[in-house]
Structure 1
Amino acid sequence: MFSSYDGLCGIGELAERAGVSVKTVRFYSDSGLLPEASRSAGGHRRYAPDSVERLRLIRSLRAMDLPVSAVRRVLDEEDTAGRAGGALEDAVAGQLSALGTQLRALRWREAALRLVQECPPKERAGRLRLVGAVTAPPSTAPLARFWRGWLPPRMPARSVTAFLDVAVPQPPEDPGPAQVLAFARLYALVDGPCDGTGPTQPHAHRAADARASAVLYAGLAEAYALAAVQMRRGRDPNQGDALDGFVDAYARAGDTADTPGFRRVLARRLAADPRIDRYWELTAELISRPDGRPEPTPGSAHDWLLAALNDRQEAVGTAGDRG
């Protein structure tokens, strides 16, 4: 309770009790966050005793960098329900999310600066231009846009989303300079129209309709996952379920049977098709394991399976020669 005759206090006393400036009290009052109880005969603001705690709450909320609009929602909820609940939870969650984005951006900028600082002087200008073209934290939208232009136009949206989930690498939370460089190079690689002047869609992937596209990419995803298991174990390309699933995906998409003749034709078609090895090499640098060992990508799994297919054809050809 204030010591004045009416139990109210002026703006100066309120500011002193709450540990803020008079200017701050005036700002919150004018913003509608701190209502006045009345005005004196001379037009001076008068505040009720509960204004001290309300002002301290406002100060605490603002100290967490919550915007005035969020503070107003928290106060309105407290006025209505007698306590801060969902509005405060939402405001804190939103602020944590924003802070996480800022921290990721700072870590990315730090790694980018280290990259420029640590490279040879004659390369610094080029590195600076390369990493300067990428936002911090970096967006994967250009990578997704590249793949949407590369994939069959009739491919179902659900299949496209499933493919993008594995084909578009997420930027590391705490990148090193080498990862910043890899992502910047990846960004530069895809930053252009997929119109035939750059990496193009393989002929073997140009399925006739939406169903065939979905069948092909679903089958390839399963085959790549099986191949990745063996690759992590250090296995050389070999026959087995992964290779059978790989061939079967192409066979079913083309509405044909998996025969020795089909495998020979498929091996030749895949060997002659356009490749985007550089994309997968840079992706592997981004998602490499903490011990430095490469993590399989759809591109490296495809190469592993193609090598297994070619080995199989060579083995069949050798056996036929002996026969």
Structure 2
Amino acid sequence: MSDHTGMLTIGELARRTGLSVRTIRFWSDSGVVAPTCRTAGGFRLYDADAAARVDLVCTLRELGLDLQTVRRVLNRQATVPDVARTHVRALDAEIRTLRVRRAVLDRVARRGGTAEEMRVMHELARMSAHQRQRIIDDFVRETFDGVDPEAPGAHLARAMRTMPAHQVAGPTPEQVDAWVELAELVGDGSFRTRVREMALAGARGEQQPEGSDPAKVAEYAGRAVREHIAPESAAGKEILHRIMDPGLPAAKRARLAAWLATFTDSRVERYWQLLGVLNGWPPTPSQVPAVEWLITALRADVR
């Protein structure tokens, strides 16, 4: 009769390792923790090293390795560092996915939305950097179609394509908001038409008419906006004359108002702001309200 001194039954191995007999039997049938031998009656027996092997299997399983990979490691068909590197990459991808889900849910919790809107937001948020770039490229290509790349203002096409080269590992709620809003914006037909109008006007190379100083516009018109001073009012007219020479001919004021209106749009400014959020650029204050105030003041002044 065989000498089984020092060998462990499956029940003893289970008690020593704190696992269930069912788990060890499953691992044994999977070839991960094979028995050292069997009794004449077919019962499994394990040597003292089996407990250490079981502990290693537990560790690898807790780290997320499947049984096939565990078996390869234990049989030295794969090294632990190689397997670890593979799983680090997998975990990184999983973490990115979880962060995107969290950001989308956070956005819905803050802003509300239907189940369908949440589904769309999630699909947009989890797009790869390549997929996001393709959406922006298609928008810019349609907007600047037929515009000479050497024409004045055509360089804006390159700037409008500036998206992060890589997927953000852990997007902030602000970045998820920005991408969803940007995707919705470039999909809006009226926005595309407006940007194309600006692109074609810019390609003609018409220079801004003289008469306004951007610093004065930001200072005086910006203050008027904050203080809710109507551009058509007497106080508004006084502010207008601080921005520009009151002796500027009416025709030139009208031409300046038309030029500013052509190249001023709050949605276009929002496009640049959203790109800034996605690319991590420093935020810049909005200029459009002040310019729109100036346009209205100019038109009121020439009537």
Q: TM-score, normalization: structure 1?
A: 0.50
Pick aligned residue for 1:114 from 109, 119, 122 = 109
> For the Cα contact (< 8 Å) 1:18–1:52, is it kept in 2?
yes
Q: Counterpart in 1 of 2:179? A: 183
Instruction: Compare CA radii of gyration and give the structure with the larger one.
Output: 2
Q: Counterpart in 2 of 1:256? A: none
Structure-2 change in CA distance of 1:189 and 1:29 (3 Å): farther
> For the Cα contact (< 8 Å) 2:36–2:46, is it kept in 1?
yes
- SS of 1:166 mapped into structure 2: coil
Q: Does 1:135 align with 2:131?
A: no
Structure-2 change in CA distance of 1:71 and 1:191 (3 Å): farther
Shift of 1:14: 1.3
Q: Does 1:284 align with 2:273?
A: no
Query: Cα deviations across residues 48-87 of structure 1 (Å, max 9, x unaligned)?
Result: 321111110000111122222332332232xx79xx5433
CA root-mean-square deviation: 4.7
| Structure 1 segment 1-323 matched on structure 2, within 5 A | 5-77=4-76, 85-116=80-111, 124-125=112-113, 129-135=116-122, 138-139=126-127, 140-149=129-138, 150-151=140-141, 166-168=162-164, 171=168, 173=170, 175-176=172-173, 178-191=174-187, 202=199, 277-287=269-279, 294=283
Shift of 1:44: 2.0
Q: Counterpart in 2 of 1:243? A: none
Q: Which ranges of structure 2 fall in alignment gaps of 5 or more residues?
A: 150-157, 204-213, 216-258, 289-303
Query: Cα deviations across residues 267-309 of structure 1 (Å, max 9, x unaligned)?
Result: x9xx78x9955432322344566xxx5169xxx9xx9xxxxxx
- SS of 1:134 mapped into structure 2: helix
Instruction: Give the Cα–Cα distance (whole angstroms) in 1 for the partners of residues 180 and 278 of structure 2.
Output: 11
> For the Cα contact (< 8 Å) 1:29–1:35, is it kept in 2?
yes
> For the Cα contact (< 8 Å) 1:182–1:286, is it kept in 2?
yes
Instruction: Give the Cα–Cα distance (whole angstroms) in 2 for the partners of residues 199 and 7 of structure 1.
Output: 82
Structure-2 change in CA distance of 1:10 and 1:76 (3 Å): same
Instruction: Give the Cα–Cα distance (whole angstroms) in 2 for the partners of residues 182 and 287 of structure 1.
Output: 10
Letter aligned with residue 67 of structure 1? D
> For the Cα contact (< 8 Å) 1:9–1:46, is it kept in 2?
yes
Aligned length: 216
Q: Which ranges of structure 1 fall in alignment gaps of 5 or more residues?
A: 117-123, 156-161, 207-234, 237-267, 304-323
Instruction: Give the Cα–Cα distance (whole angstroms) in 2 for the partners of residues 36 and 164 of structure 1.
Output: 65
Instruction: Give the Cα–Cα distance (whole angstroms) in 2 for the partners of residues 32 and 276 of structure 1.
Output: 63
Q: TM-score, normalization: structure 2?
A: 0.53
Instruction: Give the Cα–Cα distance (whole angstroms) in 2 for the partners of residues 105 and 173 of structure 1.
Output: 7
Structure-2 change in CA distance of 1:280 and 1:94 (3 Å): same
- SS of 2:133 mapped into structure 1: helix
> For the Cα contact (< 8 Å) 2:104–2:118, is it kept in 1?
no
Query: Cα deviations across residues 189-225 of structure 1 (Å, max 9, x unaligned)?
Result: 34589xx87965945999xxxxxxxxxxxxxxxxxxx
Structure-2 change in CA distance of 1:92 and 1:125 (3 Å): closer
- SS of 2:45 mapped into structure 1: strand
Instruction: Give the Cα–Cα distance (whole angstroms) in 2 for the partners of residues 278 and 98 of structure 1.
Output: 31
> For the Cα contact (< 8 Å) 1:15–1:21, is it kept in 2?
yes
Letter aligned with residue 133 of structure 1? V
Shift of 1:15: 1.4
